[in-house]
Homo-oligomer: A and B are copies of this chain.
């Protein structure tokens, strides 16, 4: 596109004075309304086990809720804890407990400097936990089939201070990458110098397909157990993007030994999770088939928004061989890859158009994108017409940045 045309279009856009937010992977109200029936009055407060769900107790979560997650995660319910509304809180606490108490197979992490591997670009909130807690982060390159496994194998086999890796195995935030069976197998079987090496497996988008392909990933707990490392993975899941973003339920799954450790660590923290909300979820979600049906409804709202972004990118950006974007088969994000050194400037120019994007570098440890070339696009929250506008604005901002 001609520079003068870009400038003119950018100017016209700016004069519209829009206010568009594509910064976070928030579901839209339309999506939240798919779960309206979750607020229906409960007909009983007695659980399957005869517990009054309103009272104290049940640290590992309601049996019904654990059975629901058993069917969703393909892991026995006895190895699943169901908790309150935030799986991020479970990840945070797992690392805090590792720092203070240590995992059953190692010493407290706080005793000496440790590192965690961070496939990049990745989820900013994973990296924020590490940064706050003073845990060193090491970048690992992401490919379409997961993180660079040779890089990982090389670094973990000799270094006992590398204690873990963050993984979003399916429709990864933000690239949409899906871990191949080979990658999962390698993570499960590789030699690690640290006896207490942990895979923090954030299965955030397990049912969040955007196509009919409904991709599945290998069962990390099964793979690790088969390889003789049952205590390696800690799996996190939630209904935040299935039912209600801020009022869902969360789950942690792991080996029996890790579950016993978790129960011991958390026993002094609380007398149990909110079982009423767990019960509501069980009554509403019922079973895996029903969850998959619900996710189909989400998909029908989300897919046109992703398509609209990609259509705008194709229209404005397809002529530039140094610009690319992901076309994910699920999840909540598109990763726009721009020429080195242009992400920050593009985001600034978009801001002048009234478009809020995730800050440049957010998808990297310490908020530093070494190439300044990734822009995370979150199409879920705005309306379809807003998202179309916003994508056009981002494209124009990028073209203007390149022409400056």
Interface residues of A (CB under 8 A from B): 24, 26-27, 29, 32, 35, 39-42, 45, 52-58, 84-86, 88-89, 92-93, 96, 99-100, 110, 125, 128-129, 131-133, 240, 244-247, 265, 267-277
> Residue on B with the closest CB to A272?
B246
Verify B45–A100 contact, CB threshold 8 A.
Answer: no
Task: List B contacts of A244 (CB < 8 A).
Answer: 54-55, 276
Verify B99–A57 contact, CB threshold 8 A.
Answer: no
Verify B92–A269 contact, CB threshold 8 A.
Answer: yes
Verify B41–A26 contact, CB threshold 8 A.
Answer: no
Pick from B54, B92, B110, B245: contact of A246, CB below 8 A.
Answer: B54
Sample of 16 further A-B pairs with CB below 8 A, known A32-B55, A56-B245, A100-B133: A24-B56, A26-B56, A32-B54, A39-B42, A40-B41, A54-B244, A56-B240, A96-B100, A125-B271, A129-B268, A129-B269, A245-B271, A246-B274, A246-B276, A247-B274, A247-B277
Task: List B contacts of A245 (CB < 8 A).
Answer: 54-56, 271
Verify A268–B84 contact, CB threshold 8 A.
Answer: no
Q: How many chain copies?
A: 2
Verify A270–B32 contact, CB threshold 8 A.
Answer: no
Nearest Cβ on chain B to A334's Cβ, whole angstroms: 19
**In the complex, A100→B271 CA distance in Å?**
23
Nearest Cβ on chain B to A206's Cβ, whole angstroms: 19
**In the complex, A273→B27 CA distance in Å?**
17
**In the complex, A45→B31 CA distance in Å?**
13
**In the complex, A273→B84 CA distance in Å?**
9
Verify A269–B58 contact, CB threshold 8 A.
Answer: no
Pick from B27, B100, B129: contact of A99, CB below 8 A.
Answer: B100
Show 15 A/B contacts (Cβ-Cβ < 8 Å), sorted by A: A26-B55, A29-B54, A40-B41, A54-B247, A56-B245, A86-B269, A88-B270, A92-B270, A100-B133, A128-B267, A246-B271, A246-B274, A246-B275, A247-B275, A247-B277
Q: Name the 4 nearest CB pairs between A and B, nearest first.
A: A247-B276, A86-B270, A92-B269, A54-B244
Task: List B contacts of A273 (CB < 8 A).
Answer: 85, 246
**In the complex, A93→B265 CA distance in Å?**
12
**In the complex, A273→B55 CA distance in Å?**
20
Task: List B contacts of A55 (CB < 8 A).
Answer: 26-27, 29, 32, 244-246
**In the complex, A42→B247 CA distance in Å?**
14
Nearest Cβ on chain B to A245's Cβ, whole angstroms: 5
Task: List B contacts of A99 (CB < 8 A).
Answer: 100
Task: List B contacts of A100 (CB < 8 A).
Answer: 96, 99-100, 110, 133
